[in-house]
Every structure is written in C-alpha cells, then in structure tokens.
Structure 1
Amino acid sequence: MGFASLFMDISSELIHSLLPLFMVGTLGASMVAVGLVEGIAEATASITKVFSGALSDYLGKRKWLMVLGYGMAALTKPIFPLAHSMGWVMAARFIDRIGKGIRGAPRDALVADIAPPHMRGAAYGLRQSLDSVGALAGPLLAVLLMLWLADNLRLAMWFSVIPAVICVVLLAIWVRDPEKPAGEARANGKRLHWSSVKELPLQYWLIVLIGAVFTLARFSEAFLVLRAQSMGVAMALVPIVMVVMNIVYAAGAYPAGAASDRMQPRTLMLLGLALLVAADVVLALAPNVWMVYVGSALWGLHMAVTQGLLSKLVADRAPQSLLGTAFGMFNLVSGVAMLAASLIAGWLWDAHGPSLTFWAGAGFAGVTALALLLAPGTRGQPAA
C-alpha cells in the first residue's frame, strides 16, 4: 500500500505542482477560483470517504474499494492536459477526489487491520513516508519535464498517466485483505446504517473536532506554489517549493509516527501546531524565494508530525468493527473545514495579498493550540 501510494503521489503531485500555474496562467483563473476548486475537490473526497468507509465495514473487505478509488484517479490524469476551461479542470478534480474518497477510509482502516496495535503509529508513518517520497518525486519530475519541454505545461502533465497505471497494477496484484474466520466478513452487515455513527465514542469525536480546527489552519498546498510564483521564480522552477516540502515530510513521517506510539499525543500535536505557526510566519514575511523554501520545509515538518498521529488517534479510539466508518466521518468533517480554509485563503489573497493569507493561517493554528491546551480530554495515554 505504501508503494502504491508512492506511485499515485508521483502522478498526482506532478499534476498538482503545475495545476495552480495552469489555472492562473493558462486559463486565467482568480485566486478565489483556485481556492474554490481545491476546496470543493477535498470536500468531495471527504464526503465520499464516509460512504466507502462504512461500505468496507459492511463488506468486511477493503482491497477492491481501494483499487476502484485509485483506478478512478488514474482515469482522470489525461483530462488535465486536455482541459481548455476551468469547467474541465473542476470536473477532473471532482472525479479524481471521488476516487480519493473511495480509497481513503478503506485504506486507512486496512492499515489498522494489518498492523499490530502497538505499532500502528509506525505503520501509518511508514505508509505516509512512502506517500511523501512520491509527493517529493512528483514535483521534482515536473521541474525536469518543464525544463526539458520548454515550459509546456500540457505536455508535462501527460507524463502523470504512467505512474498512476503502475499504482493500480501494484494494488490489484499484490495487496490482500487479511484472512478472517469463516462468517466474520459479513458479520457487520447490519451496521450499514447512519445509526452506526452513534456507536462511536466521545473521545473519537473530540479527535474529529481537533482535526477539523487543525485543518482550518492548514489550507491547500496550492498556495505554497503560488507564493513561490509571487516571488518571481521562473515557471519551470516553481514546483521546487513542493520538492522542498516533501523532502522534509518524507524524512520525518516515519520517525514521527513511531514516536506517536511512545509519546503523549497532545505533546506531538502542539509541536506540529508550533511548526505550522512558524511556517506561516516565515511565508508571510518572506523577502525572497529562499525564505519561501524555509517556510515550505517547516510546513512539511508539521505535516510529518501530525498526519500519521491523527490517523493513529482515530484508529485507537474507534471500535474495530467501525474503523472504516470512523475514518470516513473524520475525513468528512476535515474536508468541509478544508473547503472553508481554502476559500478564505483565496479571498484573502485576492483582497489583501499573500502575506495576510499566511498570517490568518498562523492565527488559526494559534487558536487550535490554545484549544488543545484547554482541553484535558486530549491528553491521551502513552502507549504501553
């Protein structure tokens, strides 16, 4: 699953590191339009995760839902270079994110199914680390292609099809659902109902709330690309900002995930928020592109510290029979928050410029940290 994530992220991040430039430069979109496209895309993925997660609990099988989701994402890759209007881009992002929604919750639940409970943090960190290697390779490939192809955005985006196909083949051939006792696979059939949500405990919903507020502070990474462009970076070199972010993200995700098996969750979450505040402040004040790279590195470090941790906390606090549903609801709420965050970021950028956009992100992160400090129920228990 980690290597499948790696290849799909090579494909997706090649597209995503060029797409903001394509939307603004080629299609003439505003920053609000960019925020709307990115926000709706992530919200769509999150809504879909609710249903795919619950369905995977009901079926007791997760693999083929993952293959379907990754397959849909692969099918959208040719649409981006063919797009001649924002409507085409919106449609491609919409279908791509439906695919992400279909695969996301079953994949996260399958990690929990496979990994020993005392190593869940490390397992999520490992998958996220491989995912981040792909997210590093994608923008790096975009830079090389743009230099080779003389800034031909459309032709560069066509190369995203190859790793997407490799991802689907890997999953279809080598990933398997864990064996279950006879009769257990459909034992939860009665749970394919909204009433199942009521069985999720209060501690789980507290994690959902924290994740949502956290997401408000962390808008779409498309704005990192646009921040680099605003500093006058040559178009072919703009994706380097994503390369820098993902080098740090990939290097830090597994150690941070392993640390979450031993440390207090709140300590790591506060560290992640502090890193996000630092990233936003650096990006707001950046006098040159080198400081944009520093801010992007801090952004990647905060992602490494927090993303695997949030998945571990959801897995630890949800019943085993409702893991897919739990991840689906978590991602639904986070996706709605991402839509709001990206719209706010786009509006602030258009109205007041990039600096205020990142100052607002720092403010949201500070409020989240304060709420976390005042909420004693988030302390959690250290791993045995």
Structure 2
Amino acid sequence: MYLSTIDRPPRGRAGRGLRAIGVNVVVLGAVSLLTDVSAEMVTAVLPLYFVLTLHLSPAAYGLMDGLHTGATALLRLAGGYVADRLRRRKAVAAAGYGISALAKLGLLAAGASMPALGAVIVADRAGKGLRTAPRDALITLSVPEPLLGRAFGIHRAMDSMGAFAGPLAALGVLAAVGAATPAAFDALFLTSFCVAVAGLLVLAAFARDRRDRRPAAFPVTLRAAGGLLRAAGVRRLLYAAGLLGLATIGDGFVYLLLMARQSMPTGWFPLLAVGTNLVYLLLAAPFGALADRYGRRTVLLAGYAALLAVYLLLCSALPAVLVTVAALCCYGAFYAATDGVLMALAGPLLPTDLRTTGLACVQTAQALAYLASSLAFGLAWTNWGSTAATGAAAIAAAVAATATAALLTGRRTTVENAP
C-alpha cells in the first residue's frame, strides 16, 4: 500500500493531447455523444411531459425524477462487481447501453400510465446504472494517472456535445410534428431509439476492453469488494459523494423554476438544457486539465460553489433574463467541474482489479442521495413554495461543500495488491 495526499496533483510527466489520451477514450466519448443525443432528446422534455402534459404535481415529479436517477443504485453495484469478476467491462457496458435503448421504445407503449412510465424510467436508469461504472473504469485503465483529469474532461466534453445536440433534436422533432402533441412525443421517442442503437454499434465495433492476460492480483470476491471500505480514503470519498448528491435537486426542477420566472413558450423548454450543455461542452476539457494541474478536490469544490450560485440566483429578485443566463452558465460550470473530476479523483484510490466496483460504489452513494434530495425538494416545493424550497437547497449545498472540503483533506490509503 502507499500513502499520498488526496488532493495532490499526480506526479510524473505524460504527453499531451489526444495522442496521449488514446483512441479508446475518444471512441468511448463518441459512444457517449450518440447515447446522450438519444437520452437528452427524452430527458429535455420529460419535465414538460410530466408536469404540463400529464399534470403531475411537483411532489409526483420529484418521485419520478428520483426514480430516474436513484432507484437502480443497487444495480450499479451489481454491474460493477460483475464487470470486475468477469473482467469484461465492455460487455457489461454494452448490456447497459442496450437496455437504455430499448427503454426508449417502452415510452411509446407506456402512454399516460404512471406505473408503466415508472417502469420504463427504471429500466432506462438500470441501463445507465450498468454502463456508467464499467465505462469510467475503462477510461481510468486506458490512460496514465497524471492525465486522468484531461481524459475525463475530453470524454465529458464529447458527452456534453450529445447533451447539447439532444435538446435541439427534440426541439426539431416537436416543431416538425407539432409541439406537445402525442404524435410529436411518439416521433421523438422513436428517433431517440434509433440514435441509441447507433451508439451501441460504435461501442461494439471500436471500443477495446482491457483484459490483461496476467492473473488478477487477488480473487475478485464479495469479501474483497467489501474490503474496499476498509480504506479510509475510500470511505471518505463515499461520504463526500453522498453529501454532494444531497445538495443536487436535478435539472428538471432548475429548468421548471427558470421557466416559471418568465413567459416562455412550452415548445422552447428544451433550450434551457441546450444552454447548460453548451457551457458544459466548452468548460469540461479545460476544467479537467486544471484538475490535473492544481488538484481535483479544488476544482470539484469550485463546481459545487457554482451550484450554490444557481440556487441563490433562483431565489433572487433579479430580472428574469439575467437570472436565466447566469444560472445556465453556473449550472454548466457545475457539471464541467464535478462530473468527470469526481471519477478522476476516485480512480487512483481503487485497486485495478476492483476499479469498476469501487467507481460503482461512489456513483451509488451519489445516486441514493440524489433520490432522497429529489423527493425532498418536490415535497418542499409542494408544501412550502418554490422560493423556500430553493433556499433550503442553497443551505444544503453550502453545508455539503463545507463538509466535503473537510472529508477530502488529509491522507488516503490505497491498497493495490491485497483484498
């Protein structure tokens, strides 16, 4: 085992640019780009579909939004463990991408049935739960540690290209078929399915798994996986991921609050996600490089400061247009500074043979906390009103960031060659 400071930038020199990052990261980025075009076509209109078309209350939407992210948390752990046990991270990721693609067809059949919609959303998130940790583990195993921030920054930039294009594609479909009509939503779901299949084909044809011929350093067992929690650095990271998840209320709520401040036609609702993802796209790679240079913890905390700024803007009495522009810029910066950076921070703490399981644990802690946060915010909005609920979210974000700064300060212990 070795000891190092959790926020110290990795030592050593490595090449720069795409050649140093490697082909595998770019291929995985292309897969994520296509998948996010598909996913964001749907995600960008779900708040509109649920609240304005199906007339769900904020509390009911909070339940659906929580299911969208947190209800498959245990499946993340199972997928991570299976990927490590079989040493087939690409195959497990492909299964996840396939399930999410099929879920888009499920939306066509679900109609306005709440149980059916819930089941389809859980299936879609089951796919995401299966694929995310194996994909991120492949990234950490494809590049040297000093370049992990850059690698995740490039991957997340490509991912956000899809997230940027998805709402625009949704807007195009809604405009072509007829905004907010059942036929328009059906056409959107079918188009989303076709794009998801294209991403799956790219993964199958071009991504490369890291399957070493050498035997594993130790048997990948449930006992060994549980042993990850004996490392103090891993435990602190899990606590921090949970706290940060509790501080996040979700995109749909942010965009609904922004829409409520101004008279925006419902058909333009997806443009709010476009604004966020444009900023994310522009900042993901630079923030990843900054994380490698100045410390991943520092950039991560700066991201949650940006999230706090979003909540404060939503509570403010500033002009609606100014709030919208500033909030979308801060929200995009939040994602750019946190999403890939947290994985780059976690990767080096984890042994290679349990890398996917460990990343799945971090993602699960965040997803479960997000489920609780989404439910709580929906209830708070219903009972207290949107302003008081957003103020409570701002307090939660400030407390979570402060606690995370303390948790991720100090020393970490990484066990590389023993269960």
| 2:86 match | 59
Distance (whole Å) between structure 2 residues aligned to residue 27 and residue 222 of structure 1 = 15
Aligned partner of residue 360 in structure 1, secondary structure? helix
2:146 to 118, 126, 129: 118
Aligned partner of residue 176 in structure 1, secondary structure? coil
Q: Tell me the CA shift for residue 45 of structure 1.
A: 3.4
| 2:388 match | 356
Aligned partner of residue 377 in structure 1, secondary structure? coil
| 2:24 match | none
What does the per-residue CA deviation read over 1:7-64, in whole Å, with 9 as the maximum and x for residues that have no partner? 1111111101111111112222111111111212312333211111111111112111
Q: How do residues 318-329 of structure 1 correspond to structure 2 at under 5 angstroms?
A: 318-329=350-361
1:214 to 244, 250, 273: 244
Letter in 2 for 1:124: F
Please list every run of at least 4 consecutive aligned residues from structure 1 whose deviation after the TM superposition is greater than 6 angstroms. Answer: none
Aligned partner of residue 264 in structure 2, secondary structure? coil
Residues 1:150 and 1:293: Cα distance change in structure 2 (over 3 Å): farther
Matched, 1:192 2:228: no
Letter in 2 for 1:246: N
The answer to whether the 8 Å contact 1:42/1:339 transfers is yes
Letter in 2 for 1:36: L
Q: How do residues 281-360 of structure 1 correspond to structure 2 at under 5 angstroms?
A: 281-285=312-316, 287-360=319-392
Q: TM-score, normalised by structure 2?
A: 0.85
The answer to whether the 8 Å contact 1:105/1:324 transfers is yes
2:100 to 64, 69, 73: 73
Structure 1 unaligned runs (5+)? none
Distance (whole Å) between structure 2 residues aligned to residue 323 and residue 176 of structure 1 = 17
1:48 to 61, 65, 75: 75
What does the per-residue CA deviation read over 1:90-126, in whole Å, with 9 as the maximum and x for residues that have no partner? 1111001111111111111111111111111111111
The answer to whether the 8 Å contact 1:17/1:239 transfers is yes
Q: TM-score, normalised by structure 1?
A: 0.93
Distance (whole Å) between structure 1 residues aligned to residue 29 and residue 283 of structure 2 = 15
Q: How do residues 208-247 of structure 1 correspond to structure 2 at under 5 angstroms?
A: 208-230=238-260, 231-247=262-278
| 1:204 match | 234
Structure 2 unaligned runs (5+)? 1-27, 414-419
Residues 1:373 and 1:115: Cα distance change in structure 2 (over 3 Å): closer
Aligned partner of residue 293 in structure 2, secondary structure? coil
% identical equivalent positions = 30
Distance (whole Å) between structure 1 residues aligned to residue 372 and residue 243 of structure 2 = 11
2:210 to 170, 175, 178: 178
Distance (whole Å) between structure 1 residues aligned to residue 410 and residue 326 of structure 2 = 30
RMSD, aligned CA: 2.0
Q: Tell me the CA shift for residue 300 of structure 1.
A: 1.1
Matched, 1:248 2:287: no
The answer to whether the 8 Å contact 2:100/2:124 transfers is yes
The answer to whether the 8 Å contact 1:266/1:378 transfers is no
Matched, 1:21 2:58: no
Distance (whole Å) between structure 2 residues aligned to residue 316 and residue 9 of structure 1 = 27
The answer to whether the 8 Å contact 1:206/1:378 transfers is no
| 1:277 match | 308
Distance (whole Å) between structure 1 residues aligned to residue 249 and residue 129 of structure 2 = 18
The answer to whether the 8 Å contact 2:34/2:198 transfers is yes
The answer to whether the 8 Å contact 2:296/2:344 transfers is no
Aligned partner of residue 229 in structure 1, secondary structure? helix
Number of residue pairs matched?
378
Between stretches 90-99 and 36-45, larger displacement belongs to 36-45
Between stretches 358-367 and 101-110, larger displacement belongs to 358-367
Aligned partner of residue 78 in structure 1, secondary structure? helix
| 1:266 match | 297
2:117 to 74, 83, 89: 89
Letter in 2 for 1:217: A
Matched, 1:161 2:197: no
Distance (whole Å) between structure 2 residues aligned to residue 149 and residue 354 of structure 1 = 33
Distance (whole Å) between structure 2 residues aligned to residue 374 and residue 196 of structure 1 = 26
Matched, 1:146 2:168: no
Q: Tell me the CA shift for residue 78 of structure 1.
A: 1.9
Aligned partner of residue 339 in structure 2, secondary structure? helix
| 1:12 match | 39
Q: Tell me the CA shift for residue 194 of structure 1.
A: 4.3
Distance (whole Å) between structure 1 residues aligned to residue 309 and residue 411 of structure 2 = 23
